[in-house]
Amino acid sequence: MPGKVALRHDGDVAVIAVDNPPVNALSHDVRTALADAFTRARDDANIRAIVLTAQGRTFVAGADITEFDKPPMSPSLSDVIALIESIQKPVVASVFGTPLGGGLEITLACHFRIAASGTRLGLPEIKLGLIPGAGGTQRLPRLVGMQKAAAMILSGDPIPAKDALAAGLIDEIFEGDPAASGIAFARKVLAEKRPLTRARDREDKLVALRADPKTFEEIVAVNTKRSRGLDAPAAAIEVLRAAIDVPFDDALKLEREAFVRLRAGDQSKAQRHIFFAEREAAKIPGLPKDTKPREIKRAAVIGAGTMGGGIAMCFANAGIPVTIVETNADALKRGLDTIEKNYRASAARGGMSEADVGKRMSLFNGVTGMDAAKDADIVVEAAFEEMGVKREIFEGLDRVMGPRTILATNTSYLDVNEIARITRRPASVLGMHFFSPANVMRLLEIVRGADTAPDVLATALAVARAIKKVPVVVGVSHGFVGNRMLRIRSIEAERLLLEGALPQDVDGALTEFGFPMGPFAMSDLAGLDISWRMRKAQGARAEIADQLCEAGRFGQKTGKGFYLYESGSRAPRPDPEVESLIAATSKRLGVTRHPLDRKTIVERLIFPMINEGARILEEGIAARPGDIDVIWIYGYGFPLWRGGPMFHADTVGLSYIRDRLREFAKQTGDKRHEPAPLLDTLASEGRGFGSLAKA
Ligand SMILES: NC(=O)c1ccc[n+]([C@@H]2O[C@H](COP(=O)([O-])OP(=O)(O)OC[C@H]3O[C@@H](n4cnc5c(N)ncnc54)[C@H](O)[C@@H]3O)[C@@H](O)[C@H]2O)c1
């Protein structure tokens, strides 16, 4: 297979270099060529040692995951690894960049491993709902010990070369050329006649565990705090346990079986869907590929409240100086103090050094007049959610800021087109909708206005990447994508209370489904007063929530909301007072309460959201079903292993969802529950959202 793997000789050392841009993935042709190159080097009597390395920007960064849904083709990676392990000459892996997944597994099979400084090594399979499938779970603990191996495999996070050296994963760190360094190391091995030890034969780091099985349970407990509902961590633990008490080859078989089972399962499919959807979301329909983003050297944020402070931190964290504009000195001080408090807390947790806190804080410039922000290349407005306030601010910005400055609003619901047209530069205006807490949450809805210029959109995407967000471009619509669907869920959640459920029933059903929190616990956390004020402004009403607010129950901050909170605790406790209030309200409205089971509750909450998602697609507010999934996973805690609402819909089956929606429409009289035409059509054709052509 010419091209994908090069074999050359440097005297008596063979150098095998993978060359499969962009990341040297282990596709079938690479595996075939590797097997061929290793066989030739093994059989060549003039060759005394072999170096495995790669061309380009990284050593092998993993398997080719596009092959996962196709029939397996031999040689498998395990075949290649078995071949390498059978070789009686020193084999040195010389790695750099990101040897990940299969790339690390092949490295583990070599007798020696050296890495360039700056290399990050890891087994990220768990992030795709998988476990390593070519011996990683068995060789890694033998090299680095169970504690480190379990942490790496269960988190999926890579470790830097220096940690890898300390842990015994690699033998040396080099600077400079990987092939030359590999050759030099191989010659040293030959000269010193170092013994050839295979990872599979190492037992020294496991003997202690065999004597004391309790230690393994402790290691596992530490590393699985966040794996509720996930199959892959459970499987990883079982095969790691096999490393301790099953012979190596049998353990390899168990690993393989678990890998194949996970790969075929819905969870991994969902996680792979999100992996691709996230990358797909960065491709914007109608945005020419060569669109050049504007240069962003300085940013400004209007408002130092909950969102403004967090957004400003995002810029500072990326090293971008940021001016914060507030209405008065008190509000400014409060905002800056909160930011500093956040950084200090992070330093106290070991997330950054005290010196870093100072460095970050020096990037903020707090001011009370817009004029001082006029050097900024981008402004994000995060003031009160009122059109009057936005009008005044955007008129001011339009006057003060340079003609090329991008003006973004963090509005949750207001019309971005209307805001854009307040200015004389609507092409330079768009929405950048962050999620709370803005310095933590990864999602960024980028709202493309009717007039937004392509290079402005491209700049917003570049900024999103610079500040490490997951951007999804959406269109103008009330609540854009995420909040628009959330609103549908909230209306339904309240309706369930009136029909017969209690807050803990609704929340319990959704946490069992996999959300970290149900809607009522969530409302209590966010504060009930915000949406109450919004409803009052719109002349709308939510029977239960409004009565709670009228009674001064604003959620956690007042110790009472849908639940009761003991002082200092964030744990919601069911409150009999709320239960009687709900029962009395049902009675007053003439509703006969009846029990609702968890399955019904979940369907009543999720199916209408999916229906709204279908409308969002029909209207072109989101470009792809996967965009909606990414929004719900990263912004609203939809369980990752269910792949987001639209992917989940396909696993449930659209015709079942359509039929249920028709029943809900009849039961509730809510016309929005009538199936959206897109959902109806797909269901009739026996298709899913996944079948919609990629934009
Ligand atoms: N809180 C959230 O969860 C959330 C999430 C996404 C978007 N948003 C949106 O972000 C915006 C801000 O929300 P928030 O929760 O941070 O509100 P907030 O009340 O915490 O903060 C708003 C800040 O803006 C300041 N401000 C008001 N008018 C100003 C002006 N003319 N110039 C400068 N500063 C001014 C206020 O003094 C206040 O400090 C709103 O549009 C909101 O809809 C909020």
* Mean pLDDT in residue range 145-167: 97
For 324-359, the pLDDT digits (tens) are: 999 999 999 999 999 999 999 999 998 899 999 999
- d(CA 102, CA 132) in angstroms, rounded, equals 7
CA distance 476 to 621: 7
Distance from Cα 374 to the centre of ligand 1, integer Å: 20
Residue of 384, 393, 447 with the most ligand 1 atoms within 8 Å of its CB, for mutation: 384
Contacts of 171 (CB under 8 A, 6+ apart): 112, 113, 114, 165, 185
CA distance 131 to 135: 10
Please tell me the predicted confidence (pLDDT) of residue 694: 55
- Residue having the nearest C-alpha atom to atom 11 of ligand 1: 382
Domain boundaries 501-588, corresponding CATH code: 1.10.1040.50
Determine the average pLDDT of the residues in 530-559: 92
Q: Output the average pLDDT for the chain.
A: 95
Q: How confident is the model at residue 573 (pLDDT cuts 50, 70, 90)?
A: very high
pLDDT in tens, 436-476: 999 999 999 999 999 999 999 999 999 999 999 999 999 99
- Partners of 407 in the β-ladder: 379, 429
- Are 533 and 546 in contact, with CB atoms under 8 Å apart? no
Report the C-alpha gap between 81 and 110 in whole angstroms. Answer: 8
pLDDT number for residue 693: 66
Give pLDDT, residue 101: 97
Task: Transcribe 300-311 into DSSP letters.
Answer: EEE--SHHHHHH
Task: Give distance in angstroms: CA of 78 to centre of ligand 1.
Answer: 55
Residue nearest to atom 29 of ligand 1 (CA): 383
Distance 307 CA to ligand 1 centre (A): 6
pLDDT score at 2: 55
CATH domain 1-122+158-198 topology: 2-enoyl-CoA Hydratase; Chain A, domain 1 (3.90.226)
Which residue's CA is the closest to the ligand 1 atom numbered 10?
382
Nearest ligand 1 atom, CA 328: 37
Q: Rounded to the nearest whole angstrom, what is the distance from the C-alpha of residue 534 to the centroid of ligand 1?
A: 14
- Please write the tens of the pLDDT for every residue from 255-266: 999 999 999 999
Residues with CB under 6 A from ligand 1: 302-308, 325-327, 331, 382-385, 389, 392-393, 410-412, 434-436
Question: Each residue of 11-65: pLDDT tens digit?
Answer: 999 999 999 999 999 999 999 999 999 999 999 999 999 999 999 999 999 988 8
Cis peptide before 574 (omega within 30 of 0): no
- Whether the CB-CB separation of 561 and 548 falls below 8 Å is answered with yes
Q: How far apart, in whole angstroms, are the C-alpha atoms of residue 415 and residue 478?
A: 7
Domain with CATH 3.90.226.10 in the chain: 1-122+158-198
Q: Which helix (H) or strand (E) holds 324?
A: strand 322-325
The residues of the chain that CATH labels 3.40.50.720 are 299-480
Best residue for ligand 1 mutational test, from 334, 410, 441 (most atoms within 8 Å of Cβ):
410
Mutational test site, ligand 1, from 301, 307, 414, max ligand atoms within 8 Å of CB: 307
Q: Does pLDDT of 225 surpass 90?
A: no
Average pLDDT over residues 104-112: 98
Give the span between the Cα atoms of 209 and 80, in whole angstroms.
30
Averaged pLDDT for residues 176-204: 97
Per-residue model confidence (pLDDT) at position 65:
80
Residues annotated as catalytic (active site), given as ranges: 105, 125
Q: Kindly tell me if the per-residue pLDDT of 567 is higher than 90.
A: no
In 69-145, which residue ranges form alpha helices assigned H by DSSP? Answer: 77-85, 102-108, 136-144
Residue intervals in the chain for CATH 1.10.1040.50: 501-588, 598-691
- Ligand 1 atom with least separation from CA of 383: 24
Which superfamily is assigned to 299-480 in CATH? NAD(P)-binding Rossmann-like Domain (3.40.50.720)
Q: CB count, 10 Å around CB of 67? A: 15
> Hey, what CATH topology would domain 598-691 get?
N-(1-d-carboxylethyl)-l-norvaline Dehydrogenase; domain 2 (1.10.1040)
Whether 102 and 75 have beta carbons less than 8 Å apart is answered as: no
The predicted model gives 301-312 an average pLDDT of 97
DSSP 290: T
What backbone phi and psi angles, to 5 degrees, belong to 130? -125, 180
335 C-alpha to center of ligand 1: Å?
Answer: 11
**If you take atom 8 of ligand 1, which residue's CA is the nearest one?**
412
pLDDT number for residue 246:
95
Predicted local distance difference test score (pLDDT) of residue 623: 96
Task: Please report the DSSP string for 89-100 in residue order.
Answer: S-EEEEE-S--B
Q: Average of pLDDT values for 374-381?
A: 97
Cα of first residue to Cα of last residue in the chain, in angstroms, is 34
- Residue with the two structure tokens 């210029």: 453
C-alpha 673/C-alpha 654 separation (Å) is 14
Q: What is the average pLDDT across 229-247?
A: 94
Tell me the residue length of the chain: 695
List pLDDT tens digits, range 117-127.
999 999 999 99
**Does the pLDDT of residue 90 top 50, yes or no?**
yes
- d(CA 92, CA 68) in angstroms, rounded, equals 29
- Ligand 1 center to residue 589 CA distance, Å? 36
- Per-residue pLDDT band for 534 (boundaries 50, 70, 90) equals confident
For residue 695, the model assigns a pLDDT of 43
Measured from the Cα of 412, ligand 1's closest atom is 43
